[in-house]
Amino acid sequence: MKDPIYHRLVEYDTALLPNRYLATLDRGSTTPEDWMRRTGYSIGYPAWGLLYYSVLCRLDPDDFNLVIETGTNLGCSSIIIGQAIRDSRARGVLHTVEIDEVNFARAKQNIRRAGLQDEIQLHRGDSLEVLPMILREYQSIAMAFLDGDHRFRQVVDEFELILPKLKDNSLVLLDNTYGIASANEDQRVNGALRYILKTHGGNLVNFPFCSWYTPGMAIWQKRPFEDMMPPAVWRTAGRDREEDRR
């Protein structure tokens, strides 16, 4: 693995965080030891803002919105998502999955102290076992944040589990996108994203200078505009692009 890179801000106005309790947790966290003790392996600021506004701007005010998270850790990103659901005034819920018993207990406590029990449902277990049980209860996923086990196979398996429930305009966020692995190592999230684009297509935007070891966050979307125009218009636009290439 390459040397650690950190793109998590420590000297910022914690009032910028949308949840007051989370702001108290991160206040004064100036070293990796500080923030790991207080907020765990969380994405930190400004990535928390990226996650918050991505959720806030994606939720459909006229529909029910299912949001999925893998890798609850201590619940800080869950708090951000839950706060966005509440602030959007849209109908929705976050289902978040954590495998570690100690982290699960701390996350449950943090979410309760943040006052977001109504917006967040916690599940303990392996995401690949828990997600199918959650998904069978819903028709579609508005948004997913995949931030659990960052190994290539796990990321791909989680993505392909949720893929059938993704609409054309659903969003999938992934953390730790920087290419940290050497050629002979597991390619982790970076390799998984390359595989996803090659195998499933879609659109990807990467934000390299946020989060920490490993930095970078990305947003994947299957087809951002098809639901905004009639199918005939979409097909015509596709033919026009092909003719332009010729």
b/e sequence 98-135, b meaning 16+ C-beta within 10 Å: bbeeebbebbbebbeebebeebbebbbeebbebbeebb
CA-to-CA distance for 234 and 163, rounded, in angstroms? 22
- Which residue pairs, CB below 8 angstroms and at least 24 apart, start in 177-184? 177/206, 177/208, 177/214, 177/215, 177/216, 177/217, 177/218, 178/5, 178/208, 178/214, 178/215, 178/216, 180/1, 180/2, 180/214, 181/1, 181/2, 182/1, 182/2
Q: What is the pLDDT of residue 38?
A: 96
User: pLDDT tens across 190-213, in order?
Assistant: 999 999 999 999 999 999 999 999
Please tell me the total count of domains within the chain.
1
Q: What is the pLDDT of residue 219?
A: 98
Return the structure tokens found at 241: 């692009």
Contact 191, 185 (CB under 8 A): no
- 75, part of any domain: yes
- 4, part of any domain: no
CA distances from 34 to 22, 25, 56, 193 (A): 14, 10, 29, 30
φ/ψ (deg, to 5) at 37: -70, -40
Q: What is the pLDDT of residue 1?
A: 80
Q: What is the pLDDT of residue 8?
A: 95
Q: What is the pLDDT of residue 230?
A: 60
Contact 149, 73 (CB under 8 A): no
Range of the domain at 237: 14-245
Return the structure tokens found at 235: 């097909």
H-helix or E-strand spanning residue 115: none
User: pLDDT tens across 118-129, in order?
Assistant: 999 999 999 999
Q: What is the pLDDT of residue 140?
A: 97
Q: Could you tell me the strand order of the sheet in which 166-175 lies?
A: 120-124, 91-98, 64-70, 141-146, 166-175, 217-221, 203-207
- 83, part of any domain: yes
- 9, part of any domain: no
Q: What is the pLDDT of residue 199?
A: 97
Q: What is the pLDDT of residue 246?
A: 53
Could you say which residues of the chain have pLDDT below 70?
226-246
- Average pLDDT for the chain: 93
Q: What is the pTM of this model?
A: 0.91
Q: What is the pLDDT of residue 2?
A: 84
Q: What is the pLDDT of residue 228?
A: 60
Looking up residue 135, the CATH number of its domain turns out to be: 3.40.50.150
For 47-119, list the strands marked E by DSSP: 64-70, 91-98
Q: What is the pLDDT of residue 28?
A: 92
- 99, part of any domain: yes
Q: What is the pLDDT of residue 225?
A: 76
Q: What is the pLDDT of residue 232?
A: 59
- 6, part of any domain: no
